[in-house]
Structures are given as C-alpha cells and as structure tokens.
Structure 1
Amino acid sequence: MTVVREFTVMSREWCHLCHDLVDKLKPLAAELGWSVRTLDVDADPELEARWDELVPVVVAGDKVLCHYHLDEAAIRAYCRGFPLESAA
C-alpha cells in the first residue's frame, strides 16, 4: 500500500510570504520524498473562511505543520513518523 506523501500549502496568488514559503518548502519536500500542492484560498469561499489571515499554511493530511513562515524542524519531525518506502 502506497501512502500519499503530500504537503498542501494554503496560499494566495498575491502573497509574497506564500511564494517565499513554497520556494523554501519544495526542495525540502523533494529531499524528504514528498510532493507540494498549492491551493489558492481566494478561489474557494470555504478555504478562505477557514484559513483567511493564517496563510500561508502548510498542512499534511489534517495536521497543520506551520503558518506564515516555513518551520523546517516541524516538517522534518512530522515526516519522521512515516517509514521510508523500499524500492520494489
């Protein structure tokens, strides 16, 4: 069984903090074997209502890992809970 390893960034197109966070997260995610998906909260009223002033927010599943700035230690600590996949 394959576990989806994906970080979701709640973001805004015009937000420089959002772009900075994503730019820093992508190489870290690649190092850890995870992907990054970005969602524009302004495109979805439910996302905007939930995340509004907290963006950017990094989420993995239903766990919030950090917001405003990348917390590399929090990302790495979270990922340690997932075993490495062996090559088949």
Structure 2
Amino acid sequence: MTKARLYGRAGCHLCEQMARTLRAFGVAFEELDVDSDERLRARYGERVPVLTDAAGNELCHGRLDPAVLERVR
C-alpha cells in the first residue's frame, strides 16, 4: 500500500536524494514527475521535491524532515 507521494522532476538531485532515503527506510511511495502534467507543474513549479501523504497533505519539501519518516512508514 502506498503511504506517500513524492513529487519531483528528472535531474533534481534533492528529489533523487529524498527517493533514496525513503527507499532505504522502507517507505512505500509513488513518484510523480511534475513536468509530466501541466497541473502539477503549475502547482509545484520549482518547489520540489514535495512529499505528501496518500491523501495529498504536504509533509515536507526540499529536504526530508526526519520526523516525517515515522508518519509514512
């Protein structure tokens, strides 16, 4: 079951770093490329990565907040 969504874009080192950390902690998440959807691009723009819970509530952006890991594991 997916507990989180990671919004990012190709070539974003912060996005890649957050994805690696989430995988290392065994977090089930879906990766979404903001550049693949005009609505996502308009919503997030350059403000990536953004991690949300499954309901779409923003948990953190930019860098992963360690306290968030417990909420999405």
Alignment TM-score, normalising by the size of structure 1: 0.72
1:2-48 CA distance string (max 9 Å, x none): xx4421000101111100111011122x2xxx411100000000000
TM-superposed deviation, 1:79: 4.4
Equivalent residue, structure 2, for 1:14 = 11
TM-superposed deviation, 1:53: 1.9
Q: Structure 1: where are the runs of 5+ without partners? A: 81-88
Measured in 2, the distance between the counterparts of 1:64 and 1:7 equals 10
Q: How does 1:1-88 map to 2 (within 5 A)?
A: 4-28=1-25, 30=26, 34-60=27-53, 61-76=55-70, 78-79=71-72
Percent identity between the two aligned chains? 35
Letter in 2 for 1:39: L
1:40-87 CA distance string (max 9 Å, x none): 0000000000011210000112210110111121332x348xxxxxxx
Bigger RCO of structures 1 and 2 (CA < 8 A, at least 6 apart): 2
Aligned-residue RMSD, C-alpha: 1.7
Larger-gyration structure (1/2): 1
Letter in 2 for 1:46: R
1:9 touches 1:58 (CA, 8 Å); kept in 2?
Answer: yes
Q: Structure 2: where are the runs of 5+ without partners? A: none
Q: Report how many residues are paired.
A: 72
Letter in 1 for 2:57: K
Runs of 4+ in 1 over 2 A off after TM superposition: none
